[in-house]
Structure formats: structure tokens, C-alpha cells
Copies of this chain bind each other. A is one copy, B any other.
Amino acid sequence: MGNFMNISKKIDESKLTIAENIIIIREKHQQVAEIMKEENIECWMIVVRETASNPDPIQNLVISGELVWISAFIFSNKDNKFRKTAIVGNFDVPAQQRKGIWDEVIGYKKGISAILQPFLNQLNPKSIALNYSETDVVADGLSHGLFEVLKKMLPEFVDRFQSAEKIIQKLRGRKTSNEIAFINEACQITDKINHSISSQISIGMTETEIYDLFQQEMQKYGVSHAWLAEHCPMVDAGPDKVVGHTGPLSTQITKLHNTLHNDFGVKYHGYCSDIQRMWFFGTKDEIPEELIHAFETVKTAIKKASEFIHPGVRGFEVDEIARKYVTSQGYEEFGHALGHQVGTAAHDGGILLGPLWERYGEAPKGIIEIDNVFTLELEVKTAHYGIVSLEEMIQITQNGCKFFLTPQQEWWCITKNKG
């Protein structure tokens, strides 16, 4: 099968293999035990059904594979004993057993309630954490209909239901060494592609043409899009592109003495990158003062935030550092959060490096932990050249943070004309 493996390798490096997934799940299960102790939660129950159509965002980190009938995965922590139980339809039993990640796999034939009710009666937990959250979308995997099913199935436990958002936020946020390795590789590939594109861009190309170059490069590396393909990467030829979640336009043409911006991320073995870079069309000497000042401001704001951030501070405190610096330099403040977490999703949920705006709810109040992975990103508006925007990615370390890539230090210049 050597030949097949080669084809497979070239074509798809975007997905985690089953073996890799099991390794990460084992690391995550250890974290679940620690977090449940920290949060004093006796029972976390993940309930899913037909996950091929309606998955829970957390399942790839703690379950793996697909489930057909209604299934309950119960992490319990009572009398200092951590136990992991899978209760699944009988057809799903062999697959779950073979993973070797559960202390027990219990199958049922007719209905799950005949197993689940006595199981919970015996466990008798103070509370049962379920995957619903008003504020954190990645902790909100339990559908409303299924919640109603649980209410009817477990009437005596309804008043013990609570949100599992604290478990999920910490669990997604604390990247394991394998998760960091995949995120790092996604960043390195993103950087290689950006550099390769630099040598292929010419003045006069349309946004769509540049977008297509990125697609070719992604295919070479066998990676997929970190977000919707339609606008990954976003390609924005200055100065007059409408800002927003829009794709590249075939009508938007790059011009001499203008800028090019992209927001680009790849998915490598299931993990994402999310990086913004900027180019100037012309020589270094031709860069106008306005663009130099804007670039320095964005770069310095990111640097200041990175020098400040460390475990124990809250998200909004980091955002404030960059936000204040930008306004001190005479720019309008940016209309979004300074940074979000990155993991299996480009927007990985949980704690946000954002301002205390109503829109962001509780997310900016969370406390930053070691091995969280964040973006640091912001834009400033210039009077004549549109926006200047950069985005870097950092890993939180014991005393601060480190960048996955060297931050962009200066404008990348393109002088080649479209031939």
C-alpha cells in the first residue's frame, strides 16, 4: 500500500488521522480529570445523536468517530475516583471499545434510558454538567430538542443540570503538546505559502487571481481552509475594498503605490492557523509616510500586547494595551477584539482578548492560562490607502508568550508588473 499512502499524503494533510486523534483524546481526558477537580464538578455528560448530521463542537477532542443512536459519554469524579463511561447503541459498541479510551462501554438495544437512569442513580452526582451555553458557542453543542428529551428521560435530575462551559473553555483552551505541534505546522505552512505568493504576485492582478494562487499552493501542501473556502484567504486590494467577511472580487485590481492585504489560515491535521499579512506595490523608497506610520503603529500595538500578556491576566486587560496605544497614535480604535483563541476552529471560542462590550459578553473577563493559543490582530484606517491590518499568533508560556512566526516587520514590496 506504499503507493496509496503517497497519494493520500499529497492529497489530504488537512485531517487528523484516527491514531493522532486517539493520542490527543488521551491527553484531553487527563485534562478533563484535572479541570473537573478544579471546578468541583462531579459529573460531565455529553449527549449526542446522529453526529454525522448534527455534531457537538467538543466531540473531536473527547470522543472521536461518529455516533448514530442517542449516546451519553459520562466523565465522573466522585470520592476522588475519575471514571469515563460510554453508553451507546449496540451497533456502536465495538468501535468505541476498540478506541481504548473508556473505562467502560455499555451498549443498549431498545432505549438508552434503561441504562442511563440507573447509572446516574448509582452515581448520584451533586450536579450534571451539560453542553449548553448562552455565551460560548463551542460549549453549546447540545441541541434544544435533545435537551428536552433529557428533561423527560431524567426528571429527577433536571434540577442538577448545569452548563459545562467552564470545563469546555479550559479544555479547549489548554493546548496539549501535540495540539501545539499541529498548530505550529499550520502556521509554518501559512508562512511558506505567503512567501511563495510574494514571488508570484504582480501589479495589475485581480483579487481573484491572487486568491487562486493561494488555492494552488494549498493543494501542494495538502492542507484545507481554516474557514469558509469562499473567503479563505480574504484578499483585499487597497484602498477601496469594502471591509467585511467577503470573498475576493474579480473586479478589484491591484495598483502601483497601493496595498494588498490578506487574512489567511490553513487547516493541518485538524488544527488551524490565522495570519494577516500586507504588501505594498512599489519599491521600499516609494512607501508613503502615512503607510509607514500606520504599519509601525499596528506592529507596535501587537508587540506591546505580546510583552504584557501572561498567565493570570484577563482578556480585556490585554486588549486595552493595544487599544490605548492605537488611539494614542491618533487612530480610531479598532472595531473588534484584539485576539481570539485558535485550535480545531480558527475561532476557537472561550476567553477572548476583547473590550468589555455588550457584544462580547463574559468572554473578555476570562483568565489567561499557560498553553492558550491566541491571535493578536488589529487594523487602523489611513486617510488615503484604506486599512492597514496585521495578525500574529502566540502561545502563552509560563511567564509571557511566544510567537509561532516572526511577526511581520515591514511592508513586503512587489515591483513586478503583470506580463
Q: Which A residues lie at the B interface, using CB under 8 A?
A: 1, 4, 7-8, 11, 18, 49-50, 52-54, 57, 65-66, 68-69, 90-95, 98, 110-111, 130, 132-149, 152, 163, 209, 212, 215-216, 219, 227-228, 230-231, 242-247, 345-349, 357-359
Contact = CB atoms under 8 A, between A and B. Distances in A.
Nearest to A348: B53
A29 B146 CA distance: 27
Given A50-B347, A68-B347, A98 B246 contact: yes
A145 B18 CA distance: 30
A245 B143 contact: no
Among A11, A57, A145, A149, the one with the most B-chain Cβ atoms within 10 Å of its Cβ is A145
A93 B245 CA distance: 8
Contacts of A345: 50, 52-53
A137 B215 contact: no
Given A52-B227, A245-B92, A141 B143 contact: yes
A138 B143 CA distance: 10
B228 A52 contact: yes
A65 B110 contact: no
Contact of A94 (B91, B246, B349): B246
A212 B4 contact: yes
B134 A53 contact: no
A228 B53 contact: no
A332 B146 CA distance: 33
B140 A143 contact: yes
Contacts of A349: 50, 53
A8 to B, nearest CB: 7
A313 B2 CA distance: 52
A139 B244 CA distance: 30
A209 B230 CA distance: 37
Contacts of A91: 243-245
A216 B11 CA distance: 11
Contacts of A152: 134
Among A111, A230, A243, A245, the one with the most B-chain Cβ atoms within 10 Å of its Cβ is A245
Nearest to A208: B1
Contact of A54 (B53, B138, B243): B138
Given A53-B348, A140-B144, 8 more contacts: A8-B215, A54-B137, A54-B141, A68-B245, A94-B242, A110-B358, A110-B359, A132-B145
8 contacts: A4-B216, A54-B137, A66-B228, A92-B244, A95-B246, A110-B357, A136-B145, A145-B163
Given A4-B216, A132-B144, A138 B53 contact: yes
Contacts of A135: 145
A213 to B, nearest CB: 9
B66 A57 contact: no
A53 B57 contact: yes
A228 B8 contact: no
A88 to B, nearest CB: 9
A249 to B, nearest CB: 9
